[in-house]
Structure 1
Amino acid sequence: MKLPGFSEKMAGLIGSVNSSELARVIIEHKERYIVQTEAGVYQAEITGNIRFSARSRADFPAVGDWVRITPMDAQNAVILEVFPRYSSLSRQAVGKQADLQIIASNIDVAFIVQSVGHDFNINRLERYLAICYSGKIEPMILLTKTDLIPQAEIDSLMETIRKRLPKVKLIAISSENGTGYNLLEETMQANVTYCFVGSSGVGKSTIINHLSNEEKLTTSAISTSTQKGRHTTTHRELFVLENGSIVIDTPGMRELGMTDDSSGIDLTYDHITELASSCRYDDCSHTGEKGCAVLAAVENGELSEETYQNYLKLKREQQHFSSTIHEKRQKGKEFGKMVKAVMKEHKKNKY
């Protein structure tokens, strides 16, 4: 059995390791993992050392990770080490301040899936792009359920996306009539890892079922009462298609908070980054300073107000998360110093 997605890129990060100990995480569910090796598939748990040495949840295994294992029997194994990641799809952990959640890792291309109906939101597309660029993942946009609207509306939506996001590849598909699937399948290559991300109900699981020619994943329609997608996929899972492409399905994400890495925003809004280089002040916030080239571009119509406002919103999120992480780390250092001082005083008094 060939390991899914092992490449020279990953070999350079891993170095020398016994092939019988090398595995890839294909399912993650509440700290229980399914890993695949050349020999077969194991249920796996992490060691206590990984658990207690982890600085955050981001240090735990994620779907797509390459790990070193030791088999316990024919079905069970223990994960001894998580190898470095060359890319990762991450977001702010929902409901946990200053924590990062790894959604999936070692991804080459992320398909950002939006349907032409209720889900279409170009501001959200830019948010996903920033997350992908921050994680060193190439983004592509999949516009789904195109059978629901006339071709003229599809053309208009695609033109809107291309005008605002000219550098991102765009494919429009319909799982109902198969339109666009030839182009999607031609795009996907063997031994390359792809991830499908987007809100619930946009058709991610249906796409994977179509590509694999079997019902691997349960699907459900948009709720007619709330116009929101139902959470069909409840965990992350990796599949290998017949052509050798590797795909990772993820649960629908309504919340996608920015991380502390600003590079993704800069790449998503590279035209604003370029404008900013002409601002009068190096530390220009682009909100009210005299001589701001970004504000000038908004005023003369070169930069749309919507794009500008979304850029500021993502920047504020990123800066807030960065400051929260810094504050958390500072508190951790101060607590560590206090513990050392107490232990030193205790030792002194003991003798």
Structure 2
Amino acid sequence: MALPCVGDWVRVSYHDAGAHASILDIQPRTSFLRRRRPGGNAEFQMIAANIDVAFIVQSCHFDFNVRRLERYLVMTRDGHIEPVILLTKTDLISPEALEDLLASIRHAGINARVIPISNVSGRGVETVHELIQPGKTYCLLGSSGVGKTTLVNGLIGKSDLATGVVSHTGEGRHTTTRRQLIALENGGLLIDMPGMRELGMLDVSEGLDASFSDVEAYASRCRFANCTHTREPGCAIQAAIAQGALDPAHLQSYQKLRRESEFHGMSHPEKRKKDRAFGKVVRATIKAKGRWHDD
């Protein structure tokens, strides 16, 4: 039996007058949050389960990164979790700078809901609180120091969770060291978890299709089914880029994540075959250059 993770429902058998219990089985998961296990092995690491909404937290000040945001969106949508983006520390930037960040998110084709947050003024915290419904499970995803723990304290109305010292740059120290499930007063459940340095992709085709639906829509209009979206005639994606309707960086991110997912999804013999084929191309190129210099 696989080990349970935070958010799992399990069937147990109590003993020692209820002081201890043994897990008999894990109930089927309705959703999941997972990533490729750090290291060389192409294996999943289950992070949490049975989550209804994932709050993806990014700081407006030091942490904002659209490409990382896309990775989080792929991860959540692949696990059948609804994403909501929270932009924290809005008090550290001007209203004009905030509008620029919001525009960059929309320009990247990201259509998830975005809520600006300030843990100093309390802006947006009540909006998040109103989204949390009884009987549903939510989680906070984001890098270390973006204000997740402070936000949790604001949502529970207490200072039960310790927060780190905030530097002059606005970057807080990482203080959450384990995933924990917190019961809120209104009956909602909130999972706080440490910041994840690695967000490796593994077999996330469903999440990619959902997060990059704009790219998929343009690709379906290409003249050729096997279009590489580079120089082929009738490429709808290149036409959209030329017209300013599609961000080329958004396309590059999609292609990178697709290659990463497909590579890590290969079996070991498939990877060795691919590496050998690439090695032959490199050797042939070096040899050809050597002949050209000899001439």
TM range (shorter): 0.7 to 0.9
Q: 1:176 aligns with which of 120, 139, 150?
A: 120
Question: Could you tell me how far 1:266 is from its partner in structure 2?
Answer: 1.1
Secondary structure of 1:153's counterpart equals helix
Aligned to 1:71: 14
Alignment of 1:111-126 (within 5 A): 111-126=55-70
Letter in 1 for 2:77: Y
Given that residues 90 and 259 in structure 1 are in contact (C-alpha distance below 8 angstroms), is that contact kept between their aligned partners in structure 2?
A: no
Given that residues 144 and 172 in structure 2 are in contact (C-alpha distance below 8 angstroms), is that contact kept between their aligned partners in structure 1?
A: yes
Given that residues 147 and 172 in structure 2 are in contact (C-alpha distance below 8 angstroms), is that contact kept between their aligned partners in structure 1?
A: no
Aligned residues: 270
Letter in 2 for 1:199: S
Aligned to 2:242: 299
Given that residues 107 and 247 in structure 2 are in contact (C-alpha distance below 8 angstroms), is that contact kept between their aligned partners in structure 1?
A: no
Deviations 1:241-294, CA, capped at 9 Å, x for gaps: 111111001110121011202111111111110111112332334345443322
Percent identical: 47
The CA distance in 2 between the partners of 1:301 and 1:289, in whole Å, is 19
Aligned to 2:48: 104
Distance of aligned partners of 1:94 and 1:277 in 2 relative to their CA distance in 1, 3 Å threshold: same
Alignment of 1:1-351 (within 5 A): 50=1, 59-73=2-16, 74-165=18-109, 167-222=111-166, 230-324=173-267
Secondary structure of 2:48's counterpart equals strand
Letter in 1 for 2:6: V
The CA distance in 2 between the partners of 1:282 and 1:244, in whole Å, is 49
TM-score by length of 1: 0.72
Distance of aligned partners of 1:317 and 1:245 in 2 relative to their CA distance in 1, 3 Å threshold: same
Deviations 1:119-146, CA, capped at 9 Å, x for gaps: 0001111111111110000000000011
The CA distance in 2 between the partners of 1:106 and 1:96, in whole Å, is 28
Letter in 2 for 1:274: A
Distance of aligned partners of 1:301 and 1:163 in 2 relative to their CA distance in 1, 3 Å threshold: closer
The CA distance in 2 between the partners of 1:217 and 1:178, in whole Å, is 17
Secondary structure of 2:262's counterpart equals helix
Question: Could you tell me how far 1:223 is from its partner in structure 2?
Answer: 5.3
Please, what is the CA RMSD of the aligned residues?
A: 2.1
Question: Could you tell me how far 1:165 is from its partner in structure 2?
Answer: 4.1
Given that residues 109 and 214 in structure 2 are in contact (C-alpha distance below 8 angstroms), is that contact kept between their aligned partners in structure 1?
A: no
Distance of aligned partners of 1:141 and 1:321 in 2 relative to their CA distance in 1, 3 Å threshold: same
Letter in 1 for 2:53: V
Task: Give the gaps of 5 or more residues in structure 2.
Answer: 272-295
The CA distance in 1 between the partners of 2:236 and 2:8, in whole Å, is 42
Secondary structure of 1:298's counterpart equals helix
Letter in 1 for 2:126: N
Question: Could you tell me how far 1:87 is from its partner in structure 2?
Answer: 0.4
Deviations 1:212-231, CA, capped at 9 Å, x for gaps: 11223221145569x86543
Distance of aligned partners of 1:280 and 1:252 in 2 relative to their CA distance in 1, 3 Å threshold: same
Letter in 1 for 2:96: A
Distance of aligned partners of 1:256 and 1:293 in 2 relative to their CA distance in 1, 3 Å threshold: same
Given that residues 240 and 247 in structure 1 are in contact (C-alpha distance below 8 angstroms), is that contact kept between their aligned partners in structure 2?
A: yes
Letter in 2 for 1:149: I
Deviations 1:23-77, CA, capped at 9 Å, x for gaps: xxxxxxxxxxxxxxxxxxxxxxxxxxx2xxxxxxxx3211000111111223321
Secondary structure of 1:71's counterpart equals strand
Letter in 2 for 1:118: F
Which deviates further from its counterpart, 108-117 or 143-152? Answer: 143-152
The CA distance in 2 between the partners of 1:228 and 1:267, in whole Å, is 31
Secondary structure of 2:266's counterpart equals helix
The CA distance in 1 between the partners of 2:44 and 2:209, in whole Å, is 20
The CA distance in 1 between the partners of 2:88 and 2:261, in whole Å, is 29
